[in-house]
Structure 1
Amino acid sequence: MGNKKELRELSVVDVVKDIAKRLGVDYEEENNEVCVDIPEHIGTGNIKAIAFSHGMGMINLDMRLKEEVRFELNQSLVQPLEIIFNSESAFTHEFDGKGKIQEIRHLESAILSCNSRHGNVITLPANEPICFFNLEINRKRFEEKIESFLPDMNAELEALFRDVNGVNLFFYKGHYSLDIAKCIEESNECEHTGFTKSVFIEGKCYEILAHHLRQYLDDLTDPDKRKILRQATVEKIEAAAEIINSELEHMDNILALARRVGLNQNTLQSGFQHLFGLSVNQYIKNARLEMAKNLMETTGLNITEITYKIGINSRSYFSKLFKERYAMTPKQYLKKLSQPKNEPPQSA
């Protein structure tokens, strides 16, 4: 494969075919989809591409390389708009000749637009899992589809889509949303075939584009006022939930918990509401009651010991919460557990 590849083709399908040619391997093609398996001496994994109408295309890379590889994406005619969503190891992007290198990290997305003088250069690391989903839009062909919507767009986005010949350089990155992550997962797990598969994935690509345009506008607002939940934020919220479940006996306050996972308190609260339908305090209360019930069923601890074990300092308050949840006091529940189970009825 070498360390440097220059790709001049415009279509995503042609790009993947060109990669196959340079690797000296065959590719599989069906309708508007092409797939290349990475040969063993290069690494493992595959590259897939599907071309759609109006200049929209998708490339999906899922591989691990034995050597670092630098891709130069220098289309010679119309410069497409690229939107990349990275779900694994970081890789870098630069505009050839500009000298500024940008790292696109785990769960980050980037909008890229090169020009004829400064092409996109992507450098993929060696011995790391590489997995990213790339939407490519030929803006000249896409113009017909989007023309009537452009006047209502944010001025910067309108200028980006109206730059149909790719004259201006553009780079923007941020963490992509949970909705986008779900769409990519659904696209990758599609079990349809033929026309149905093509239509399904094309629909997902447009859904991803719509979500990403909304997210771009959301990114322009104050971080504390953003309404869209990022996938990276979801991982931090899940980490907070794991901390709660494992450290109930000495649970920090919400502000300290937010700081531990790298979020502000408002984002943590809204994230818990989005993922679990509960506030952080409600989640903590539920976790404590579930743990208390489990301790009663599996240990010989008394009620006072269980009360402190779940991080509550008042036995009466614990009894009140337990009764609200399970319609009986802890004492009544322990008594119920100690009663022998009824013998099954004897057969006649």
Structure 2
Amino acid sequence: MSLTIALHDSSIKEAILDLAENFGFDPEVSENEYCIRIPENLGSGFIKGTQFTHGIGVLEFNFLLNDQLVMEFQKGLIHPLKLLFNRESTILHKFEASEEAQEIHRLESAILSSTPQNNHIFTFPANEPICIYSLEIDRKLFEEKISEFLTDMNDDLMTLFRDLNGTQIFYHKEYYSLDIAKFLEEFTECELLDFMKVVYQEGKTYEILSHQLQQYLDDLNGTGNHKITRKATLDKIENAAEIIKSELDQMDNILTIAKRVGLNQNTLQQGFKRLYKTSVNEYIRNFRIEKAKELLENTDMNITQISYKIGINSRSYFSKLFKKRYGVSPKEYHNQIRKSSEEK
């Protein structure tokens, strides 16, 4: 099934109110934030809007839905410039008059601008985690902020920001850097309150904006090496994760893994923190315990065999980690599985 929602994006507030109306309840409002919680019958998670000064705002999509969701943006007086960062599952974007949709994959960013005759349509898949950060710029209001700098800008950026009424289509997609991933994480995980939170998050928003525009210029003016380097680094980090999964019983140390994939140890650690929200050691430990649970459920291996299979030579240490994660020892969990199987 698919749920289609029509909404305006002339402001952060209006977009959230349109979404809330479609979902059938009022949004939560706090200072400069507007938030709607996904109803249980549709899935889980939230959509949040944060409005800052000079026409800058952020839409955050963090949810998992039971059905596909299509957001169709409508004709309006304002067509904001969007800098979208995809932190999880692949989504689709198309302009209304286009035949085909473009995929925006995990760790990709897109700079997007629509027109009144050719609006955005976003499609979010069902049963996949969605985590999107969309920086929204009302260029009419933002002009006051950057007017004195426009003449010094690159011609492409100057044209983009001077298109105050959104009369020109713009689309640019690329992988974003680990620095931007860090800023996104710092924005979304901010635990400050009230005025301090507003100041901190607005500062992070400008850091994200400036880094993304510089990244765009690097790709535009260079030979493409920056873009290739970002993609290659991400591929190497994901390759390291695959090595961990496939060689769990004979795991090398972090330095050796880093050398195998062609990264230095610090970059590998930073990459895991940005991509997987954990250190390399924690990733290894978590995957070992998840694999152990899978083996307990689906094989006849005993606990000692499983412990060695996941690369832990101490049965007592394995039991300690397993109980910390799942609340029961491996033996207790194995007995539960066996009992449940016998009852069937």
Same-fold status (TM-score > 0.5): yes
Instruction: Give 1:18's aligned residue.
Output: 18
The SS at the match of 1:69 is strand
Instruction: Give 1:222's aligned residue.
Output: 223
Deviation at 1:21, TM superposition (A): 1.5
The SS at the match of 1:78 is coil
Instruction: Give 1:31's aligned residue.
Output: 31
Instruction: Give 2:53's aligned residue.
Output: 53
The SS at the match of 2:103 is strand
Partner amino acid for 1:172? H
Deviation at 1:180, TM superposition (A): 0.8
Partner amino acid for 1:17? L
Q: Which whole-Å CA distance do the structure 2 matches of 1:227 and 1:113 have between them?
A: 21
Q: Which whole-Å CA distance do the structure 2 matches of 1:233 and 1:242 have between them?
A: 14
Instruction: Give 1:174's aligned residue.
Output: 174
Partner amino acid for 2:102? Q
Structure 2 gaps, min length 5: 245-249, 270-344
Please list every run of at least 4 consecutive aligned residues from structure 1 whose deviation after the TM superposition is greater than 3 angstroms: 227-232, 237-248
Instruction: Give 1:125's aligned residue.
Output: 125
Name which of 231, 246, 267 aligns with 1:275. Answer: 267
Instruction: Give 1:207's aligned residue.
Output: 207
Deviation at 1:41, TM superposition (A): 0.8
Q: Which whole-Å CA distance do the structure 2 matches of 1:227 and 1:98 have between them?
A: 26
The SS at the match of 2:85 is strand
Deviation at 1:113, TM superposition (A): 0.3
Q: Which whole-Å CA distance do the structure 1 matches of 2:181 and 2:141 have between them?
A: 27
Instruction: Give 2:146's aligned residue.
Output: 146
The number of residues matched between the two structures is 261
Within a 5 Å distance, the mapping from 1:1-348 to structure 2 comes to 3-220=3-220, 221-224=222-225, 226=226, 230=230, 233-234=233-234, 236-237=236-237, 239-240=239-240, 243=243, 246=251, 268=262, 271-272=263-264, 275=267
Partner amino acid for 2:77? L
8 A Cα contact 2:91 2:123, kept in partner: yes
Distance 1:232 1:87, change over 3 A: farther
Tell me whether 151-160 or 55-64 shows the greater mean CA deviation. Answer: 151-160
Tell me whether 14-23 or 172-181 shows the greater mean CA deviation. Answer: 14-23
Distance 1:229 1:30, change over 3 A: farther
Q: Which whole-Å CA distance do the structure 1 matches of 2:185 and 2:123 have between them?
A: 24
Partner amino acid for 1:198? V
Instruction: Give 1:296's aligned residue.
Output: none
For residues 84-130 of structure 1, give each alpha carbon's deviation from its aligned partner in whole angstroms, at most 9, with x where no partner exists.
Answer: 00000001000002223110001000000000000000011011101
Q: Which whole-Å CA distance do the structure 2 matches of 1:76 and 1:130 have between them?
A: 27
Deviation at 1:16, TM superposition (A): 1.1
Bigger radius of gyration among the two: 1
Q: Which whole-Å CA distance do the structure 2 matches of 1:84 and 1:11 have between them?
A: 16
Deviation at 1:179, TM superposition (A): 1.0
Structure 1 vs Structure 2 CA RMSD: 2.8
Distance 1:28 1:235, change over 3 A: farther
Distance 1:134 1:190, change over 3 A: same
Q: Which whole-Å CA distance do the structure 1 matches of 2:160 and 2:179 have between them?
A: 23
The SS at the match of 1:47 is strand
Structure 1 gaps, min length 5: 259-267, 278-348
The SS at the match of 1:230 is helix
Deviation at 1:247, TM superposition (A): 6.2
The SS at the match of 1:10 is coil
Deviation at 1:217, TM superposition (A): 1.3
In the superposition, the TM-score normalised over structure 1's length comes to 0.69
Distance 1:182 1:152, change over 3 A: same
Partner amino acid for 1:151? T
For residues 167-186 of structure 1, give each alpha carbon's deviation from its aligned partner in whole angstroms, at most 9, with x where no partner exists.
Answer: 00000100011111111101
- The share of aligned pairs that are identical, in percent, is 46
Q: Which whole-Å CA distance do the structure 2 matches of 1:209 and 1:191 have between them?
A: 21
